[in-house]
Amino acid sequence: MFCRNQTARATVARGSALEMEIRRGKFRKSVFLDTSQDSDIQKKIDHEIRMRDGACKLLAACSQRDQALEAAKSLQTCSTRIMAYMSELQRMKEAQVMQKVTRRSSDAGPMDDRLPCKGKVAISDLRIPLMWKDTEYFKNKGELHRCAVFCLLQLGGEIFDTDMVIVDRTLTDICFDNTIVFSEASPGFELRVELYSCCSEDDYSAGSTPRKLASKLSSSLGRSAGKKLRAAMEPGPCSPVSNGGAAPLLLPVPSVPGPKYHLLAHTTLSLSHIQDSFRTHDLTISEECSYWLPLYGSMCCRLAAQPHCMTQQMMSGCLKVKQCGGDPQSWTKVYAVLKGTSLFCYHQQEDVEANIEPAFTIGINKETRIRASEKDPHSKVQNICISNQYGGEEVTHTLTTDSREDTHCWMEAFWQHFYDMSQWKQCCDDLMKIELPSPRKPAPRLLPHPPVRVFCCRITLCLLRFVLCSRPITTTGEVTGVGLCINYVVLNVAIPRGWIG
């Protein structure tokens, strides 16, 4: 919140990665002044800058293909997040400036500050079909052309990436099994889906490429000439690849060595694309390059949303309810909870915490009509009338509170609820199901089996002889099998009954 008596101050930590970016001239320091509200975003930017620097170092040190592809993927994700956070910070600054101008303007009229609720948006079952030619898919028996692909998904300041998938002509669809949930979406959201691709056939150990070439040449030129060549091609302390301090070799090394992902296709999804089913959406494909894949031009996914008005309690409190057709003097005291498309009426508040079924439910949807009417001219207490259509017949429930203030709070909650449903549209017809994303499993690490030593073999034989020659202490005197763990492998040895002496 902007306060006039609060002095502007810089909140950029001294010595942080963000301060180093400002010194390099990447960002203007004026963007980071004024208020402490932006400290969270600045911390995120600082964190992503450090992650980006770490990804650059890791990418330069990678010697394996899979490691380099994952490091390049992390670098692309961090760079995208930094730009998104900077854009969000800029939007916040512009909103603060507009707020200052509005407050200082003397002729500013009343403004409607009603905002729709936030919600969750989930995308899952992402499928991108491929359109291989017959000669490529059926008849081509040569070497497979492989590409590493992944998706970046951005909604506002939230950015997520999918797992990396290796694609060749044996696949007809690119499948991403990740379920990605955006928790702070507004009804006017724009979900941008970007497909990145990188050729996985290249040698990605860019830092060690001169060494590999020198090793091959030295074996061909001889020992003495090879030593001189290797010494000339060793990288110096100040450059990625140097020639003993002389001019660099004709082996260009990029600023960030290793693979680079390129934008292959993208699309933008909005509220109109949400449907609780599997749908197809158009893709915008980039120009053809070496990382090109035969995309069909479409993307299939399930896009669902859960507005907060459908999953959270928007209002709760004690009410008195008179049902339609009942005794005019008969009022039922309930504890009411406004949530989703219903007003749940419980006998007491403890029933809500105990997850007990409500006594009855009053429908609250887009077709519901709510009005306030005077109950008694002397008390000035208003009633709240809720009318719904059931089978062509109008059913009205009358609510009352203990004070006009409570009535005003309930009416305001109803209007806000109707406004939320009008903004989220089809997402408020029924509660859509969103599965929680499962935590990502780390890459499986195969434990190397230690070599079988002669001593281990002798110990194993001794244990097996002991088991076979000893009588087990059991109530039946029978042995059906023995399990031995040898070098991380469990051996189940079946022993016939007659073998036990």
350-378 pLDDT per residue, tens: 999 999 999 999 999 999 999 988 765 65
Q: Do residue 120 and residue 265 come from a single domain?
A: yes
- Among residues 198, 196, 195, 197, the alpha carbon closest in space to that of 267 is found at 195
* 446 pLDDT higher than 80: no
Q: Are the beta carbons of 265 and 295 closer than 8 angstroms?
A: yes
Asked if residue 243 is part of any domain, the answer here is no
pLDDT of residue 251: 32
* 29 pLDDT higher than 60: no
pLDDT of residue 16: 59
Give the domain CATH number at 317.
2.30.29.30
Which position has the higher pLDDT, 33 or 447?
A: 33
Q: State what percent of residues in the chain have pLDDT above 70.
A: 60
> Could you read off the pLDDT of 202-213 as tens digits, one per residue?
544 444 444 444
Which position has the higher pLDDT, 416 or 16?
A: 416
Q: Do residue 166 and residue 81 come from a single domain?
A: no
At 450, the pLDDT band (50, 70, 90 cuts) reads very low
pLDDT of residue 35: 54
pLDDT of residue 326: 61
Residues 6 or more apart in contact with residue 6 via CB below 8 angstroms: 35
> Could you read off the pLDDT of 91-123 as tens digits, one per residue?
888 887 887 776 655 444 555 578 999 999 999
Q: Do residue 399 and residue 480 come from a single domain?
A: no
Rounded CA separation 13/46 (Å): 9
At 125, the pLDDT band (50, 70, 90 cuts) reads very high
Q: What are phi and psi of 429, to 5 degrees?
A: -70, -50
Q: Do residue 280 and residue 320 come from a single domain?
A: no
Q: What DSSP string runs through 84-109?
A: HHHHHHHHHHHHHHHHHHHHH-TT--
Residue 123, both tokens? 């995308």
Tell me which of 81, 103, 125 is where a domain ends. 103
* 260 pLDDT higher than 70: yes
Asked if residue 38 is part of any domain, the answer here is yes
pLDDT of residue 59: 87
pLDDT of residue 441: 56
Mean pLDDT value of segment 450-472:
44
Note down the domain range covering 161: 116-205+258-308
Q: Rg of the chain over CA atoms, in angstroms?
A: 34
Mean pLDDT value of segment 329-339:
90
Q: Do residue 304 and residue 328 come from a single domain?
A: no
* SS3 at position 483: strand
Domain count along the chain: 4
> Could you read off the pLDDT of 304-316 as tens digits, one per residue?
999 999 999 999 9
Asked if residue 279 is part of any domain, the answer here is yes
pLDDT of residue 170: 85
Residue 301, both tokens? 């996914």
Q: Do residue 285 and residue 417 come from a single domain?
A: no
Mean pLDDT value of segment 249-255:
38
Lowest mean pLDDT among 59-63, 79-83, 88-92, 240-244: 240-244
Q: Do residue 300 and residue 184 come from a single domain?
A: yes
Q: Supply the pTM of this predicted model.
A: 0.68
Asked if residue 240 is part of any domain, the answer here is no
Which position has the higher pLDDT, 44 or 240?
A: 44
Q: Do residue 333 and residue 424 come from a single domain?
A: yes
Q: Give all strands (DSSP E) within 156-256, no chain letters.
A: 158-161, 165-167, 173-176, 180-185, 191-199
Q: What are phi and psi of 407, to 5 degrees?
A: -65, -40
Q: In sequence order, what are the beta bridge partners of 300?
A: 127, 280
At 133, the pLDDT band (50, 70, 90 cuts) reads confident
**Which residue pairs from 454-459 have beta carbons closer than 8 angstroms and sit at least 24 positions apart in sequence?**
456/486, 456/487
Mean pLDDT rounded to a whole number for the chain? 74
> Could you read off the pLDDT of 164-179 as tens digits, one per residue?
999 988 888 999 998 9
Q: Do residue 355 and residue 284 come from a single domain?
A: no
- Report which listed range, 23-37, 125-139, 350-364, 468-482, is most confident: 350-364
Which position has the higher pLDDT, 280 or 239?
A: 280
Mean pLDDT value of segment 473-486:
44
At 325, the pLDDT band (50, 70, 90 cuts) reads low
pLDDT of residue 482: 46
Q: Do residue 75 and residue 132 come from a single domain?
A: no
At 90, the pLDDT band (50, 70, 90 cuts) reads confident
Q: Are the beta carbons of 38 and 90 closer than 8 angstroms?
A: no
Tell me which of 77, 103, 129 is where a domain ends. 103
Asked if residue 398 is part of any domain, the answer here is yes
Residue 36, both tokens? 């402490």
Rounded CA separation 117/346 (Å): 25
* 444 pLDDT higher than 60: no
* 150 pLDDT higher than 70: yes
At 345, the pLDDT band (50, 70, 90 cuts) reads very high
Q: Do residue 299 and residue 349 come from a single domain?
A: no
